[in-house]
Chains A and B, each alone.
Chain A
Amino acid sequence: MPGPDLLSSQGLRLDGRRPNELRRIRCKLGVFTQPDGSAYLEQGNTKVLAAVYGPHQASKSKSSVEGVVVNCQYSMATFSTGERKNRPRGDRKSQEMSLHLRQALTAAIKTELYPRSQIDIYIEVLQADGGAYCASVNAATLALVDAGVPLRAYACACSASMAWRGAEPAPLLDVGHVEEAAGGVVLTVASLPSTGNIALLELSHRLHSDYFEIVLSRAMQGCRDIEIILDRAVREHLAEGWTKQDIVTI
């Protein structure tokens, strides 16, 4: 049976969360001065930095009259996992992640406003403890806000997986590394919660359609919870920014 012990008899997960609870999220906008926008985000022990350049004029080959071209580059720090591993930039996994990020973020950006332009988004995972993709999307959204790129809505990503409490299905929100390793199905969703649109959806294994609905709705609920947290962070940052930060930089 997959993860028979992911939920204790008292209904708590291994790290003490209840099934519908997110990990602790801490974030900060404008952590660097060099890029046009930047953000740092922690989701539990997963820690991600995002930086945004642009929009600026696109290189000839990429340029499109339809709208802005979003260019994503995802990478993981050598020290990001328990075992130190040299990760060449642009390996297969990173490329795949970059593509997925691009898909989610393109959906959020009002691309039609900037034809023949390009936005570069760099994401570095400093510490990986499950759900690196979700944290990357969330961090990138904040960095885009920080850069002042017009968005349709916040792009938020969250994962969910299946567990049972007795015979009752109890989907787990925001799956950590330990729960991921236990081998259950992980559903990852990137969405624009305020519009209800789904930008990306990924399943790690096969999941029976009977359970798909409840796992998906749990993940969507997570996206909405994250949106509230991101929104609060943005507002705090703006309030803070006018009073303190700008004075310092000026």
Chain B
Amino acid sequence: MWTTKTFLTKTKRGNVLKIVREHYLRDDLLCGSAACNVCPHKDDELVLDANPESICGLFDYNHYLVLDTNVVLHQIDVLEEDALKNVIILQTVLEEVKHQNTAIFQRLLEIIGNKKRNFYSFVNEHHKDTYVERKPGEKQNDRNDRAIRKAASWYASHLSIKNMAERFPQIVLLSDDENNRKLAQEEGIVACSVKDYIENVNGYAGLTDKLSKNVIPESCSKDALYPAHLTPTQIHAGIRNGKLHQGTFHASRDNFLEGNVTVTGYEKSILLQGHIGINRAIDGDIVAIEIFPQEEWRQPSDIVLEDKAEDPGDFLEEESQLLNTKKTVANDDICPTGKVVGIIRRKWRQYCGILMPSKFPGATRHLFTPAEKRIPRVRIETRQSDILASQRILVALDSWPRNSRYPLGHFVRSLGPIGDKNAENEVILLEHDVPHARFSEAVLACLPPDDWTIPEEEIKKRVDLRSICVCSVDPPGCTDIDDALHARRVGDRYEVGVHIADVTHFVRPHSALDREAAARATTVYLVDKRIDMVPDLLSSNLCSLRGGEERLAFSCVWEMDENANVLSTKFHKSVIKSRAAMTYEEAQIAIDTTSRNDEVATSLRTLNALAKKLKQRRLDNGALLLASPEIRFQVDSETHEPLEVQAKRILDTNSMVEEFMLLANVSVAERVAADYPQSALLRRHPAPPPANFHTFLKAARRQGFELDVSTNKSFSKSLNEAVIPERPFFNTLLRIMATRCMQQAVYFSSGSKTQEEYYHYGLACPIYTHFTSPIRRYADVVVHRLLAGALGADATHAALLDARAAQALCDNLNYRHRQAQLAGRASVALNTHILFKNREEIESAVVLAVKRNALQVLIPKYGLEGPLYLPSDKFLYNEEENIQICNDIILKTFDELTVRLTLDSTNLQHRKLVFQLVTPFIPGVSYEKEKADDDKMDVEIVEPKTNVKKRKEVSEPKKKKKSKK
């Protein structure tokens, strides 16, 4: 059955530790080729075609391709195209790729999994005829190359067995390593470089565009523009003896010739300036830097500098403008400076942006401008520049040789026409790293059939609640209903139940579906689009607790007295049949219509009454009622264009549902934390550090309110008392600003924090988790499993008890949630821009914050906010008082203004809303209505005029502080 030769693989780790591992070689591994007459294949094991037709002009015979590791690492974009088929991926390659780049490894697995592509992964490392042992003194890389060649020649001879001459597929080895190709040819293997192969492929236009321009960056010393980077060993030695420092490079948003690196041991981050100082580092890279002596430390420049519109070719321009910044300023602003001397690790991803076609007709080299301002432009080669010029495109970086002003990259794919809604959404998703590809076959295979109904035996295992009057209340248009409620009187008490969709019944641990959901972590909501965490069949159908349909649920049932004190809590899996899926508004009407006395209405009234008591108790405990301006778009159902914006309305029923969800979450949190002291997934909200409140308190004091922020309870109380009767919006505004002072709530595993740290500041409860939205949050899925395990209602699995895995999971959840939030905001901004494309509005606004060169203003009607820039020649900024002064006009936080809203589209990738002051009137600053009203003709002229003004604003001193958004 199997050969039992033992080979010992020796590896050294750390100091001198010899690890000896067994390595079994087998004779039962298949070659996967339909042309093979030897291996005992079953039909589904034949991956490679018997007659793989050649698509490459260089080879006029049938062949399979064998790739070396670097081809996969560098040319994954080419491989993802459908062009190449019948490719053998050796285990040697697979393992090296996995080791070097997990993202590419995943993409490779995806290709191998796609049956149409005929990619076969051959286990050459365990095949008795293809295993090669490392020779003494041989480098690992050389051994692996040898293993690849060995497997290639084995395939060639294996396929020739019992096959007629010239009728069986040959093997072509693709490698960009010249030496490897030479050795292959000596061993009688046909080898070819990727570039030669791809350029001779017929019938796949645009394939060459995807070729990675992978040059070894340090080798191009001729005409070098940049100093060479140090080698890894030099960097290592430098860091060890303290001459060099390691840190992550952050490019400046406003000035493409500036960036900084945070280094341990320095309070301020290290400033890097100029092409040479940055020396080809790209935002996010981990770099090694050298810090200059203190005499050379300087202040960050105050100017906005964009890379010039035209391609200057391969030379670096004068940087005098940047470097002549005065060094005389106060010591506070002086930063340590330094320069990049080497790259420790590139953190490149794919970037969205637009192509700027070369001025020369017929040129193939073009510049690409990324949407992210921190990323430099990229030079790419394409023959389709005419088509691509009007599109949003995705580009991957390949290398940045010393003699190239720009990094080199290649075109990956087009996202659609600029301005097109789908293309713009795609940009938002890609830039925020939101996984949004269609669900793979493997994931879809985990789903139950479309017509799935609850089997009888499943019902028998559960508590049958189908006879109970359960209903759900959600926002209008909600199709992923994950919670439903019920309440009824039992004797002199109430029984209240929260029923949550039983997602874990379908999403089983270890399945492809589970892994996909864990990676996505959350459903992402854009204004006109939803990117589901689990496939539609589950999210909108089988898990969604729709009205009138039997559904599986995980229930939390309390017994309460009339003061909403919880007397007992039960958890169990159940079957429910929701009587009605209502909107907040419908539920509100049902409660308010006193003539309605049906079961649903009574149940809702009971819930509402209890919820009010729960809420009061929560507020008494010190929970904060915070506010954030939330915008709701009315979206055209067909074109998905936004029609109108308005601030969200809050009804009684909103808080009714929220109250019970909070209670369920708290109840579940207590239970899982007790049962899993090390690995329960919880959510905490740390108290904000006092410094966060500094400016906020000052602004409130100016309005005559002394807020006490020492505890959440006192804070909540003083917020409640801070009311100005004639300004009803003032209190909400305070709360909006209070929200900005808060920390982010985060997931964590119970073992990683002390009990005191579990505290949720905003909700004022000692322990909290997420249980109520498993359709759209993976955290809830995990909590469901934990609770089911604790109750014995479902299988536990080892990962539930693994504290380390739990923390790693939390890190991913926190990251994804943050990205989802940012993506949601970007989507709101996009839709706002579309809405304001051809209109201007004059609205009342309030000042949220005063910045060095701008006011942060909010328009309550829309919930929109943005900066209102103030020219520094007219305004004086008083940092101490946090006010802006212009003659006798003082602008401060909480002031009410009138502003004019327009859209600035001068930069296609960075459109923004422009806020202009209307009142108070300041000559030369405020927008003058009369001018526009003068004549209809003038309207046409006003537009360009404002544009000129805006451009001026762009070159104004940049903001000192980043606005906290």
- The stretch from A65-73, A148-156, A162-170 touching chain B is A162-170
Instruction: Known contacts A1-B805, A10-B123, A166-B512; decide if A208 and B20 are in contact (CB<8 Å).
Output: no
- Asked if A16 and B24 sit within 8 Å, CB to CB, the answer is yes
Asked if A241 lies at the interface with its beta carbon under 8 angstroms from chain B, I say no
Instruction: Known contacts A2-B802, A21-B2; decide if A210 and B795 are in contact (CB<8 Å).
Output: yes
Q: Which of B436-459 contact A (CB under 8 A)?
A: 442, 446
**What residues of A have a CB within 8 angstroms of the CB of B796 in the complex?**
206, 208
Which one of A9, A12, A183 lies within 8 Å of B798 (CB-CB)?
Answer: A183
**What is the distance, in angstroms, from A16's C-beta to the closest C-beta of chain B?**
4
Asked if A184 lies at the interface with its beta carbon under 8 angstroms from chain B, I say yes
Which one of B21, B795, B798 lies within 8 Å of A15 (CB-CB)?
Answer: B21
By beta carbon, the residue of chain A nearest B28 is A18
**What residues of B have a CB within 8 angstroms of the CB of A178 in the complex?**
21
Asked if A24 lies at the interface with its beta carbon under 8 angstroms from chain B, I say yes
By beta carbon, the residue of chain B nearest A21 is B2
**What residues of B have a CB within 8 angstroms of the CB of A164 in the complex?**
510
Asked if B939 lies at the interface with its beta carbon under 8 angstroms from chain A, I say no
- Asked if A167 and B446 sit within 8 Å, CB to CB, the answer is yes
- Asked if B123 and A12 sit within 8 Å, CB to CB, the answer is yes
Asked if A115 lies at the interface with its beta carbon under 8 angstroms from chain B, I say no
**What residues of A have a CB within 8 angstroms of the CB of B22 in the complex?**
15, 23-24, 44-45, 129, 176
- Asked if A167 and B23 sit within 8 Å, CB to CB, the answer is no
Asked if B511 lies at the interface with its beta carbon under 8 angstroms from chain A, I say yes
- Asked if B126 and A16 sit within 8 Å, CB to CB, the answer is yes
By beta carbon, the residue of chain B nearest A209 is B795
- Asked if B798 and A162 sit within 8 Å, CB to CB, the answer is yes
Q: How far is the CA of A5 from the CA of B356 in the complex (A)?
A: 45
Asked if A217 lies at the interface with its beta carbon under 8 angstroms from chain B, I say no
Asked if A39 lies at the interface with its beta carbon under 8 angstroms from chain B, I say no
Asked if A205 lies at the interface with its beta carbon under 8 angstroms from chain B, I say yes
Q: Which of B4, B19, B112, B121 has the most CB of A within 10 A?
A: B4
**What residues of A have a CB within 8 angstroms of the CB of B421 in the complex?**
none
**What residues of B have a CB within 8 angstroms of the CB of A82 in the complex?**
17-19
Q: Which of A1-34 contact B (CB under 8 A)?
A: 1-2, 4, 8-10, 12, 15-18, 21, 23-24
By beta carbon, the residue of chain A nearest B6 is A24
- Asked if B797 and A208 sit within 8 Å, CB to CB, the answer is yes
Q: How far is the CA of A4 from the CA of B802 in the complex (A)?
A: 14
Asked if A185 lies at the interface with its beta carbon under 8 angstroms from chain B, I say yes
- Asked if B123 and A2 sit within 8 Å, CB to CB, the answer is no
Asked if A246 lies at the interface with its beta carbon under 8 angstroms from chain B, I say no
**What residues of A have a CB within 8 angstroms of the CB of B508 in the complex?**
167
Q: How far is the CA of A16 from the CA of B799 in the complex (A)?
A: 25
Asked if B25 lies at the interface with its beta carbon under 8 angstroms from chain A, I say yes
By beta carbon, the residue of chain A nearest B9 is A15
Which one of A4, A8, A167 lies within 8 Å of B123 (CB-CB)?
Answer: A8
Instruction: Known contacts A10-B121, A12-B123, A82-B19; decide if A2 and B24 are in contact (CB<8 Å).
Output: no
Instruction: Known contacts A1-B510, A45-B20; decide if A208 and B799 are in contact (CB<8 Å).
Output: no
Q: A109-144, CB under 8 A of B: which get 1 and which 0?
A: 000000000000000000001000000000000000
Q: How far is the CA of A138 from the CA of B332 in the complex (A)?
A: 74
**What residues of A have a CB within 8 angstroms of the CB of B17 in the complex?**
82-83
Q: How far is the CA of A82 from the CA of B799 in the complex (A)?
A: 28
* Size of A's binding interface in residues, CB under 8 A: 34
By beta carbon, the residue of chain B nearest A23 is B22
**What residues of A have a CB within 8 angstroms of the CB of B797 in the complex?**
2, 208
**What residues of B have a CB within 8 angstroms of the CB of A1 in the complex?**
509-510, 515, 799, 805
Asked if B26 lies at the interface with its beta carbon under 8 angstroms from chain A, I say yes
- Asked if B798 and A185 sit within 8 Å, CB to CB, the answer is yes
Q: B114-145, CB under 8 A of A: which get 1 and which 0?
A: 00000001010110000000000000000000
**What residues of B have a CB within 8 angstroms of the CB of A207 in the complex?**
798
**What is the distance, in angstroms, from B595's C-beta to the closest C-beta of chain A?**
53
Q: How far is the CA of A136 from the CA of B26 in the complex (A)?
A: 28
Instruction: Known contacts A166-B512, A185-B798; decide if A16 and B23 are in contact (CB<8 Å).
Output: yes
* Size of B's binding interface in residues, CB under 8 A: 37
Q: How far is the CA of A52 from the CA of B512 in the complex (A)?
A: 52
Which one of B126, B442, B446, B801 lies within 8 Å of A12 (CB-CB)?
Answer: B126
- Asked if B2 and A167 sit within 8 Å, CB to CB, the answer is no
- Asked if B25 and A16 sit within 8 Å, CB to CB, the answer is yes
**What residues of B have a CB within 8 angstroms of the CB of A184 in the complex?**
798
Q: How far is the CA of A110 from the CA of B805 in the complex (A)?
A: 48
Q: How far is the CA of A17 from the CA of B3 in the complex (A)?
A: 10
**What residues of A have a CB within 8 angstroms of the CB of B509 in the complex?**
1
**What residues of B have a CB within 8 angstroms of the CB of A45 in the complex?**
20-22
**What residues of A have a CB within 8 angstroms of the CB of B802 in the complex?**
2, 183
**What residues of B have a CB within 8 angstroms of the CB of A129 in the complex?**
20, 22
Q: A60-83, CB under 8 A of B: which get 1 and which 0?
A: 000000000000000000000011
Q: How far is the CA of A176 from the CA of B23 in the complex (A)?
A: 12
Q: How far is the CA of A176 from the CA of B674 in the complex (A)?
A: 35
Instruction: Known contacts A12-B123, A15-B22; decide if A167 and B512 are in contact (CB<8 Å).
Output: yes
By beta carbon, the residue of chain B nearest A10 is B123
Instruction: Known contacts A12-B123, A16-B24, A24-B6; decide if A206 and B510 are in contact (CB<8 Å).
Output: no
Q: How far is the CA of A5 from the CA of B91 in the complex (A)?
A: 14
**What residues of A have a CB within 8 angstroms of the CB of B512 in the complex?**
166-167
By beta carbon, the residue of chain A nearest B442 is A166
**What is the distance, in angstroms, from B223's C-beta to the closest C-beta of chain A?**
46
- Asked if B121 and A17 sit within 8 Å, CB to CB, the answer is no
**What residues of A have a CB within 8 angstroms of the CB of B18 in the complex?**
82
**What is the distance, in angstroms, from A214's C-beta to the closest C-beta of chain B?**
13
**What residues of A have a CB within 8 angstroms of the CB of B801 in the complex?**
205-206
Q: How far is the CA of A21 from the CA of B25 in the complex (A)?
A: 13
Q: Which of B1-55 contact A (CB under 8 A)?
A: 2, 4, 6, 17-26, 29
**What residues of B have a CB within 8 angstroms of the CB of A185 in the complex?**
798
By beta carbon, the residue of chain A nearest B25 is A16
By beta carbon, the residue of chain A nearest B113 is A9
**What residues of A have a CB within 8 angstroms of the CB of B2 in the complex?**
17-18, 21
**What residues of A have a CB within 8 angstroms of the CB of B29 in the complex?**
10
- Asked if A16 and B26 sit within 8 Å, CB to CB, the answer is yes
Q: Which of B780-803 contact A (CB under 8 A)?
A: 795-799, 801-802
Q: Which of B493-514 contact A (CB under 8 A)?
A: 508-512
- Asked if B798 and A205 sit within 8 Å, CB to CB, the answer is yes
Q: How far is the CA of A192 from the CA of B18 in the complex (A)?
A: 37
**What residues of B have a CB within 8 angstroms of the CB of A208 in the complex?**
795-797
Which one of A9, A15, A211 lies within 8 Å of B24 (CB-CB)?
Answer: A15
By beta carbon, the residue of chain B nearest A24 is B4
**What residues of A have a CB within 8 angstroms of the CB of B510 in the complex?**
1, 4, 164, 166-167
Q: How far is the CA of A44 from the CA of B123 in the complex (A)?
A: 21
**What is the distance, in angstroms, from A162's C-beta to the closest C-beta of chain B?**
7
Q: Which of B76-94 contact A (CB under 8 A)?
A: 91
**What residues of B have a CB within 8 angstroms of the CB of A9 in the complex?**
109, 112, 121
Q: How far is the CA of A8 from the CA of B105 in the complex (A)?
A: 14
Q: How far is the CA of A45 from the CA of B24 in the complex (A)?
A: 12
Q: A155-193, CB under 8 A of B: which get 1 and which 0?
A: 000000010101100000000101000011100000000
Q: How far is the CA of A82 from the CA of B15 in the complex (A)?
A: 12
**What residues of B have a CB within 8 angstroms of the CB of A211 in the complex?**
795
Q: How far is the CA of A248 from the CA of B550 in the complex (A)?
A: 82
**What residues of A have a CB within 8 angstroms of the CB of B515 in the complex?**
1
**What is the distance, in angstroms, from B125's C-beta to the closest C-beta of chain A?**
8
**What residues of A have a CB within 8 angstroms of the CB of B795 in the complex?**
208, 210-211
User: Which 5 interchain pairs have the tightest Cβ spacing?
Assistant: A16-B24, A16-B126, A167-B511, A24-B4, A2-B798
- Can you show 10 pairs from A to B with CB atoms below 8 A apart? A1-B515, A2-B798, A4-B510, A15-B22, A15-B24, A16-B26, A18-B2, A21-B2, A166-B442, A167-B446
Q: Which residues of B contact A (CB under 8 A)?
A: 2, 4, 6, 17-26, 29, 91, 109, 112, 121, 123, 125-126, 442, 446, 508-512, 515, 795-799, 801-802, 805
For the complex with contacts A15-B24, A24-B24, 14 further pairs of A-B residues with Cβ separation under 8 Å are A1-B805, A2-B799, A2-B802, A10-B29, A15-B23, A16-B123, A16-B125, A17-B24, A82-B18, A185-B798, A206-B798, A207-B798, A208-B797, A211-B795
